[in-house]
Amino acid sequence: MPKIKVFTANLGFYETAVAARSQKMALAHWGVTRDLFHQGHAKETHDPKAVEAARRKVGVVVRRPIGSTGPFEEHAEAEQALLTRFNTKLKKPVFQAGKRTAAVATRKR
């Protein structure tokens, strides 16, 4: 019986981990066709949090926001983690459609 290993890679805003039998299978679970291991973007890990979470669900990609120390989850929220880390709130969008159309209508030509 092959040994299950845990591999990690930073994909997008997330640090991902997956338990698989080989690097090739890990790449397939991530849905990546290029060799991230050869490029140095993925590696085998012994991080206790990553190993525990990935071995709970073999073959399922678990993730957490990059730079966080929280647990790996199947569905992680990167934006919420960053907001709570820096203790900020979401800003309102600068462009507001109603005000802009009113300003254009009242502008003199």
Q: Are 50 and 17 in contact (CB under 8 A)?
A: yes
Tally the domains of the chain.
1
pLDDT on residue 66: 87
pLDDT on residue 69: 85
> Which helix (H) or strand (E) covers residue 37, if one does?
helix 36-39
In a domain, 103, yes or no: no
In a domain, 64, yes or no: yes
Cα separation, 39 vs 93, whole angstroms: 38
Strand 14-20: give its sheet, edge to edge.
42-44, 5-11, 14-20, 62-65
In 3D, which of 52, 29, 27, 28 has the Cα closest to residue 41? 27
pLDDT on residue 2: 72
Cα separation, 7 vs 2, whole angstroms: 15
pLDDT on residue 42: 96
pTM of whole model > 0.75?
no
Pull the structure tokens for residue 15: 């640090």
Q: For every one of its 109 residues, what pLDDT tens digit does the chain have, with 9 covering 90 and above?
A: 579 999 999 998 899 999 999 999 999 999 999 999 999 999 999 999 999 999 999 999 999 988 888 888 887 776 666 666 666 665 555 555 555 555 556 665 5
What's the domain range around 34? Answer: 5-78
pLDDT on residue 73: 86
In a domain, 21, yes or no: yes
pLDDT on residue 80: 64
Q: Are 11 and 30 in contact (CB under 8 A)?
A: yes
* Residue at 63: amino acid letter: R
In a domain, 9, yes or no: yes
Query: Long-range contacts for 33-40 (Cβ within 8 Å, ≥24 apart)?
Result: 36/9, 37/7
